[in-house]
Amino acid sequence: MELAIRNVRKEFERFAALHDVSLDIRSGELIALLGPSGSGKTTLLRLIAGLDFPTEGAILFGDEDASFKSVQERNVGFVFQHYALFRHMTVAENIGFGLKVRPAATRPSKAEIRRRASELLDLVQLSGLENRYPNQLSGGQRQRVALARALAIEPRVLLLDEPFGALDAQVRRELRRWLREIHDRTGHTTVFVTHDQEEALELADRVVVMSQGRIEQVGTADEVYDTPNSPFVYSFIGESSSLSVRIENGQIWLDDRATGLLAEGAPNGKAALYFRPHDVELLEGGAGIVGTVVASRRVAGTKHVELQIGGAQHRVEIEVPATHSAASAGRIAFRPTRWRLFSDAGPIPYQAAPAPSVAYAPAPRLQVVAS
């Protein structure tokens, strides 16, 4: 089932939770809505489900306008952060609930409902727990039951609201892999909400980065990580450093020093330079950006060095090899190898850095890639 969200706006008592959001979701894709709390991601999910209705705009299920259809008519599977299992029903009854409440004409027989429930329990790897009550299950098991219950109604779309938010880190990682497997096996179009970027980048085919009721960027894990299109995405996903710089005739200046970075065709004026701490090369001599080491900490195989540049105005963090001598004190000169400029008006077309004279090649980093 393809979904399309067209210019949706949602207000709660004059407070706008979503401003003019548009998004196309492909059939069979696993897509993540990622953002900090208050970014409107859960609101968007609830609008898709029909648990809330848009103030403006439309939500399409395939070609059909579902904007004002009730949640029952939309036939979506919804998984809640706090499971919302029916506590007075057994696991099997919980899973069979969606079938039991169907009108008599389409309701399967009791035996059939029971068979479907145990089939789904197999799928979520909880066979044998049919007669347990929710309070006799662990958090991870409860969320599996909740998913089985949502799948039981053969939904057109599967929607998950921070499905692993209430679980501890270990269980979370396991369930993440398991959800991916279930998705690949069942092929449902799946939308899930998370504030955990690692979860989104690892699990989803595409990630929708949201902030303050707007979609900032939509793309694969690689795209949002490697080519963030706004300062927000740069700083929200992964680590980043920024410097306020000045562009003059295609050259980037930091205070009164040329950084050696070129921004051909960029308009003159102030801008913000963003780069990842590991996308830097160290330079000998006085070229590039020079900073004084303020602090350094060891992170796994590398050292993170905090630099103060040009008085107290700028602080950035860069990554250097653990063995680097200047890491503990003194001055370091560096140049970002991948970077991006943002002016107040928006991003400036992406500029490749001049062919670097590699002083040191950054240690190969483990990159999370969605398969």
Told to check if 140 binds another protein by CB under 8 A, we report no
Q: Write the interaction track for another protein spanning residues 35-74; mark x where CB under 8 A is met and - where it is not.
A: --------------x-x------------------xxx--
Number of CB atoms found within 10 A of residue 360's CB:
13
Give the nearer residue to another protein in terms of CB position, either 99 or 175.
99
Task: Please report where in the chains the tokens 């990622």 appear, as a residue.
Answer: 34
Told to check if 1 binds another protein by CB under 8 A, we report no
Q: How far is the CB of 61 from another protein (least distance, A)?
A: 15
The interaxial angle of helices 91-100 and 139-152, nearest 10 deg, is: 20
Told to check if 185 binds another protein by CB under 8 A, we report no
Told to check if 131 binds another protein by CB under 8 A, we report no
Q: Which of 97, 114, 251, 347 binds another protein (CB under 8 A)?
A: 97
Q: How far is the CB of 112 from another protein (least distance, A)?
A: 16
Give the nearer residue to another protein in terms of CB position, either 83 or 232.
83
Q: Which residues of 191-211 are buried (b: 16+ CB within 10 A; e: fewer)?
A: bbbbbbbebbbbbbbbbbbbb
Told to check if 164 binds another protein by CB under 8 A, we report no
Told to check if 84 binds another protein by CB under 8 A, we report yes
Told to check if 363 binds another protein by CB under 8 A, we report no
Helix (H, G, I), strand (E, B) or coil at 353: coil
Q: Which two tokens stand for residue 225?
A: 């990580």
Q: Which residues of 257-291 are buried (b: 16+ CB within 10 A; e: fewer)?
A: eebebbbeebeeeebbbbbbbbbbbbbeeeebbbb
What whole-number distance in Å separates Cα of residue 227 and Cα of residue 218? 11
Cβ 340 vs Cβ 274: under 8 Å: yes
Q: What does the longest C-alpha to C-alpha distance in the chain come to?
A: 82
Told to check if 163 binds another protein by CB under 8 A, we report no
Contact range with another protein by CB under 8 A, out of 15-23, 111-119, 129-137, 275-283: 129-137
Told to check if 298 binds another protein by CB under 8 A, we report no
Cβ 216 vs Cβ 34: under 8 Å: no
Contact range with another protein by CB under 8 A, out of 33-41, 95-103, 314-322, 347-355: 95-103
What residue ranges bind another protein (CB under 8 A)?
49, 51, 70-72, 75-78, 80, 82-88, 97-98, 101-102, 133-135, 146, 149-150, 152-153
